[in-house]
């Protein structure tokens, strides 16, 4: 811009100077022409008469006078005519000389002595002659000779007069000619200079003109190029002026917006393509720009906006604005891209992702539910194994039972692992360190897997490499699971071979007392191809789908423990799976794995059990009595509060859902009642293990929590936790099972309670199934369902229990339709629950 300005300015200066110079030249030429003209005029209109003639005539007049004198003197007294002629010739001569003496034409000449002196001499002669000439004829006649003599004397002077005069005027004329010639020369030079200047100006103009032509051609070409670019651009290009009126609208813009360029031109862009809800903002922006401010989006790259087509459809566009100056006008160029397809694709992608995430979540929920469903029957198996162990068995049978129990426990922890994965994915996995004897773990694994290994013709063994350092702080359960997964995997892919487990301290760890332990599971199996090595630890990746999550879990746990896991393998020769973990040295607590003896040493407690369900009440009482505790029972919350007010107990076990008064309310009463038991531990007993519910129990003043169905082990731990302040306070979730129950109660009591549960269930289900959902007494339905649900929970029939609770909830919210619907499927649920139970007396000592 400023370059062009300077350029234009400079050119104006050049033209100005040239114009001024030419004007000056013209003025000079005019002046000189006038000068020359005046010179000629002077010569033409000189105030000189015919000077030369006058001067030459002097001599003629003189000679005429002399001639007349001679004629007269020769005539001697002849006629008078000769004297008159003398007089006339004298007068003419006199007159001529007088002119020379008087005329201002001869004024400069008279300054010259060569002229002045002869003139004076002649004049003197003439003046002297006048008296004689004017005298009478006689007198003149007498003096003729004297006159003649005198006249002859001045002859040379007259000649000098004429010659000097003529020579003077010739000189003057010469000077004048020289002067004129000089003026003419000057005029010629100046005219030449002027011509040269004009020639130079013409040349310059020619050059300028050529340059302008060239520039015009370049401009035209650039214009054509620009038009081609505009018309072939895939982006819409719209140019508007400062008022927002459309100047350009290229074919792509026509296609996007559905206006022809002719229709669009001259119209306000705001009315054309801005959707109504954005027009106010658009107008504000334009006004801001007109006031000298910036448009927010000008020069800011691409922005996403909504635009409107001719048919009113609104769609997303990507818009880039640039402002520019065209001449003295501010213009805005908009590049518009229709991105409706892209946005649609993005939204589809997002919804696909959301669906995938929902699928993931559903999978996690499914895993959780599945694990839950597997745990219950597994607990039954384990319970029965425990019972079997307590019966008379042969040594061999005892070993089988032991193996079965170990495998069962491993299976249980396997199911727990799946739960762990779900928690891990939710970021909730925690590593619980405790003193651990690696020898025990390894031996356990080898023992537990030896049957499995033998069934495929494999031998299995373990050993330390290097110094044995079995006592470490570790999450034994996780470590066991990692190793078990790897061993299980090795057995699965090895036939008639050997599985050996090696453990070695390979290097010191990052901090003192921590060492890197490497566990190697070496098999002689089919091995793994190199292309599979990298993916073998991914979830659900396996050459045999039944392996499932094993290796994926192993890797998760290894990483959670700060370690790493890997494999080296040669196909057809075998594999080495290795796990490297940093483990802290630890002193092994002699009692750590002997709960039994610990509890047996526990002091008897005075326990209040508040529970409305008869079967549950009896189960709990039996379990407590088994450990030597003294038990008082209350059948609902209110009775519990009364009992607590009358006596100081060591601990209270409090059911949550009860008639008359529920558990949390009773707890609050006890805590605030100021009675002798106001500050003792209160343990919540509930089937609801969700964290929110547990938090609510704590908020009501409960100290700890035991899940239903209640397990002896969990009960013991809970009691120990609340009565021994130093113990780890960690409410145990569902680890209970029917076998445990039977073991705790003894077979006779268990069978009696089971029979009672079965007859009660039959009666209630028959009664409920006979009800018409539309007329039934809903309160009674809710009560019956609640009571039976408690029993079902105790016997681990979770599905049945859930069905009963659903009916109870529906009845309480008076939703008769839902009650009727749920009641129809209840008998089926009951049959399934019964099928899952052992027949009474089926297992006898």
- HEC string of 412-430? HHHHHHHHHHHHHHCCCCC
Smallest distance from the beta carbon of 205 to another protein, in angstroms? 45
Which of residues 158 and 721 has its CB atom nearest to another protein in the complex?
Answer: 158
Nearer to another protein, 47 or 674 (CB): 47
Helices 340-389 & 395-425 angle (0-180, nearest 10): 160
Residues that bind another protein (CB under 8 A): 44-50, 57, 61, 64, 88, 91-92, 94-95, 98-99, 102-105
Residue 103 Cβ, how far from another protein at the closest point, in Å?
4
Q: Which residues does residue 239 pair with via DSSP β-bridges, in sequence order?
A: 248, 333
Query: Of 103 and 314, which has the nearer Cβ to another protein?
Result: 103
**Closest approach of another protein to the CB of residue 34, in Å:** 16
Residue 129 or 785 having the CB closest to another protein? 129
As measured in angstroms, the least distance from the Cβ of 112 to another protein is 19
Nearer to another protein, 92 or 295 (CB): 92
**Dist. CA 282–CA 287, nearest whole Å:** 9
| Least distance from another protein to the Cβ atom of residue 171, Å | 19
Dihedrals phi, psi of 336, to nearest 5 degrees: -120, 130
Write down the least CB distance from residue 174 to another protein, Å.
19
DSSP string for 229-246: HHHH-SSEEEEEETTSBE
Nearest approach, Cβ of residue 167 and another protein (Å): 21
SS3 398: helix
d(CA 578, CA 501): 10
Query: In the complex, what is the shortest distance from the CB of residue 102 to another protein, in angstroms, rounded to a whole number?
Result: 6
Query: H-type helices in 601-648, by residue range?
Result: 614-626, 637-646
Rounded to a whole number of angstroms, the minimum distance from the CB of residue 91 to another protein is: 4
Q: Are strands 630-634 and 471-474 parallel, antiparallel or unpaired?
A: unpaired
> DSSP code of 589?
P
Measured from the CB atom, is 177 or 217 closer to another protein?
A: 177
DSSP per residue over 133-175, as a string? HHS-HHHHHHHHHHHHHHHHHHHHHHHHHHHHHHHHHHHHHHH
Q: Is the Cβ of residue 105 or residue 331 nearer to another protein in the bound state?
A: 105
DSSP3 helix / strand / coil % (the chain, rounded to 5): 60, 15, 25
**Residue 577 β-bridge partners:** 521, 567
What does residue 702 show for φ and ψ, rounded to 5 degrees?
A: -80, 145
Q: Which is nearer to another protein, 45 or 291 (CB)?
A: 45
CA 93 to chain centroid? 125
Of 57 and 434, the one with the shorter C-beta distance to another protein is 57
φ and ψ of 574, to 5 deg? 140, 175
Question: Cβ closer to another protein: 98 or 224?
Answer: 98
Q: Give the residue with the Cβ less far from another protein, 103 or 735.
A: 103
The owner of tokens 């039934």 is: 776
Q: Which is nearer to another protein, 122 or 822 (CB)?
A: 122
Going by DSSP bridges, is the β-strand pair 329-338/564-570 parallel, antiparallel, or unpaired? unpaired
Q: How far is the CB of 170 from another protein (least distance, A)?
A: 17
Task: Extract the tokens encoding 530.
Answer: 């190199």
> 3-class SS at 302?
strand
Bridging pattern class, strands 459-465 and 498-508: parallel
Q: Give the CA distances from residue 223 to residues 289, 373, 378, 550, in Å, rounded to whole numbers and listed in that order.
A: 28, 78, 85, 71
Long-range contacts of 414-417 (CB under 8 A, 24+ apart): 414/481, 414/484, 415/371, 415/374, 415/375, 415/378, 416/371, 416/375, 416/477, 417/481, 417/549, 417/553
Least distance from C-beta 181 to another protein, angstroms? 21
Nearer to another protein, 123 or 191 (CB): 123
Q: What is the DSSP string of 54-98?
A: HHHHHHHHHHHHHHHHHHHHHHSS--THHHHHHHHHHHHHHHHHH
Whichever of 57 and 515 has its CB closer to another protein, that residue is: 57
In the complex, the smallest distance separating the C-beta of residue 16 from another protein, rounded to whole angstroms, is 41
Q: How far is the CB of 48 from another protein (least distance, A)?
A: 7
Closest CA to 246 of 259, 230, 232: 259
Torsion of CA 113, 115, 119, 121, to 10 degrees: 50
Nearer residue to another protein within complex by CB, 97 or 479: 97
Nearer to another protein, 92 or 471 (CB): 92
Nearer to another protein, 87 or 668 (CB): 87
Residue 59 beta carbon to another protein: minimum distance, rounded to whole angstroms: 13
Minimum distance, C-beta of residue 192 to another protein, in the bound complex (Å): 33
CA angle 471, 472, 478 (to 5 degrees): 120
Q: Taking the complex as a whole, how short is the minimal distance between the CB of residue 44 and another protein, in angstroms? A: 7
CB of 126 to another protein, least distance (A): 9
Rounded to whole angstroms, how far apart are CA atoms 737 and 794? 9
Report d(CA 285, CA 138) in Å as an integer: 132
Residues 366 and 419: their CA atoms lie apart, in Å, by 10
Contact 309, 315 (CB under 8 A): yes
Q: Are 421 and 388 in contact (CB under 8 A)?
A: no
Give 417-484 as a DSSP string: HHHHHHHHHTT------EEEEHHHHHHHHHHHHHHHHHHTT-EEEEEEESS---EEEE-HHHHHHHHH
Q: How far is the CB of 89 from another protein (least distance, A)?
A: 9
Closer by beta carbon to another protein, 58 or else 460? 58
CB-based contact 413:445 (threshold 8 Å): no
């Amino acid at each position: 811009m400023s370059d062009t300005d300077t350029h234009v300015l400079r050119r104006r200066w050049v033209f100005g100077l040239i114009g001024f110079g030419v004007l000056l030249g013209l003025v000079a030429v005019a002046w000189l022409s006038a000068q020359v003209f005046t010179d000629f005029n002077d010569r033409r209109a000189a105030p000189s008469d015919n000077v030369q003639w006058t001067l030459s005539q002097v001599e003629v007049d003189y000679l005429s006078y002399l001639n007349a004198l001679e004629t007269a003197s020769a005539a001697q007294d002849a006629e008078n005519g000769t004297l008159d002629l003398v007089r006339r010739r004298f007068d003419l001569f006199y007159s001529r000389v007088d002119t020379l003496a008087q005329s201002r034409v001869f004024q400069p000449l008279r300054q010259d002595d060569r002229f002045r002196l002869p003139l004076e001499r002649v004049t003197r002669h003439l003046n002297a002659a006048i008296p004689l000439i004017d005298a009478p004829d006689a007198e003149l006649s007498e003096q003729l000779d004297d006159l003649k003599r005198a006249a002859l004397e001045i002859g040379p002077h007259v000649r000098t007069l004429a010659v000097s005069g003529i020579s003077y005027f010739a000189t003057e004329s010469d000077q004048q000619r020289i002067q004129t010639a000089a003026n003419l020369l000057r005029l010629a030079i100046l005219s030449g200079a002027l011509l040269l200047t004009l020639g130079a100006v013409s040349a310059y103009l020619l050059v300028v003109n050529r340059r302008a032509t060239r520039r015009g051609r370049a401009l035209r070409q650039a214009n054509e190029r620009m038009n081609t670019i505009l018309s072939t651009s895939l982006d819409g290009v719209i140019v508007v002026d400062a008022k927002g009126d459309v100047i350009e609208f290229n074919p792509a813009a026509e296609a996007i917006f559905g206006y022809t360029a002719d229709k669009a031109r001259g119209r306000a862009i705001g009315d054309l393509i801005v959707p109504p809800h954005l027009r106010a903002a658009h107008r504000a922006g334009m006004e801001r720009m007109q006031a000298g401010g910036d448009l927010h989006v000008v020069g800011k790259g691409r922005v996403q906006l909504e635009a409107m087509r001719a048919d009113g459809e609104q769609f997303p566009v990507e818009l880039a604005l640039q402002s520019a100056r065209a001449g003295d006008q501010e213009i805005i160029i908009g590049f518009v891209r229709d991105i409706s397809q892209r946005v649609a694709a993005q939204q589809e992608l997002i919804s696909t992702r959301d669906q995938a995430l929902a699928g993931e979540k559903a999978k996690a929920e499914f895993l959780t539910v599945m694990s839950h469903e597997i745990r219950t029957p597994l607990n039954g198996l384990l319970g029965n194994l425990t019972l079997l162990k307590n019966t008379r068995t042969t040594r061999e049978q005892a070993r089988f039972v032991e193996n079965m129990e170990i495998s069962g426990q491993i299976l249980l922890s396997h199911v727990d692992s799946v739960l762990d994965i779900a928690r891990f994915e939710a970021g909730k996995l925690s590593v619980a360190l405790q003193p651990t004897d690696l020898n025990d773990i390894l031996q356990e694994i080898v023992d537990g897997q030896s049957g499995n290994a033998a069934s495929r013709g494999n031998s299995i063994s373990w050993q330390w490499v290097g110094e044995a350092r079995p006592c470490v702080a570790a999450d034994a359960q996780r470590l066991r699971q990692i190793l078990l997964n790897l061993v299980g995997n090795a057995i699965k892919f090895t036939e008639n071979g050997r599985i050996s487990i090696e453990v070695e301290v390979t290097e010191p760890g990052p901090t003192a007392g921590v060492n890197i332990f490497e566990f190697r599971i070496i098999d002689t199996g089919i091995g793994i191809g190199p292309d599979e090595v990298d993916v073998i630890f991914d979830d659900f990746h396996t050459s045999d789908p039944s392996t499932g999550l094993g290796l994926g879990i192993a890797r998760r746990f290894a990483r959670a423990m700060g370690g790493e896991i890997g494999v080296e393998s040669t196909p057809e020769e075998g594999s080495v799976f290795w796990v490297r973990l940093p483990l802290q040295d630890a002193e092994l607590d002699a009692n750590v794995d002997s709960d039994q003896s610990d509890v047996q040493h526990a002091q008897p407690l005075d326990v209040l059990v508040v529970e409305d369900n008869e079967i549950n009440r009896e189960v709990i009482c039996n379990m407590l009595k088994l450990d030597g505790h003294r038990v008082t029972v209350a059948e609902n919350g209110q009775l519990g509060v009364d009992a607590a007010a009358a006596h100081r107990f060591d601990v209270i076990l409090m059911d949550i859902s009860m008639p008359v008064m529920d558990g949390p309310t009773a707890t609050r009463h006890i805590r605030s009642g100021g009675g002798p038991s106001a500050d003792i531990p209160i343990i919540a007993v509930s089937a609801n293990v969700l964290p929110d519910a547990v938090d609510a129990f704590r908020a009501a003043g409960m100290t700890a929590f035991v899940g239903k169905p209640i397990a002896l082990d969990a009960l013991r731990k809970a009691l120990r936790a609340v009565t021994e302040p130093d113990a780890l306070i960690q409410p145990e979730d569902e680890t209970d099972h029917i076998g445990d129950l039977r073991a705790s109660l003894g077979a006779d009591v268990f069978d009696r309670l089971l029979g009672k549960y079965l007859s009660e269930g039959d009666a209630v289900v028959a009664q409920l199934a006979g009800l018409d959902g539309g007329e039934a007494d809903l309160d009674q339905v809710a009560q019956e369902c609640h009571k039976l649900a408690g029993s079902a929970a105790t016997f681990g029939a979770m599905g049945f229990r859930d069905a009963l609770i659903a009916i109870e909830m529906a009845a309480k919210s008076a939703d008769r339709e839902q009650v009727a619907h749920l009641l129809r499927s209840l008998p089926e649920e009951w049959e399934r629950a019964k099928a899952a139970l052992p027949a009474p007396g089926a297992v006898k000592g």
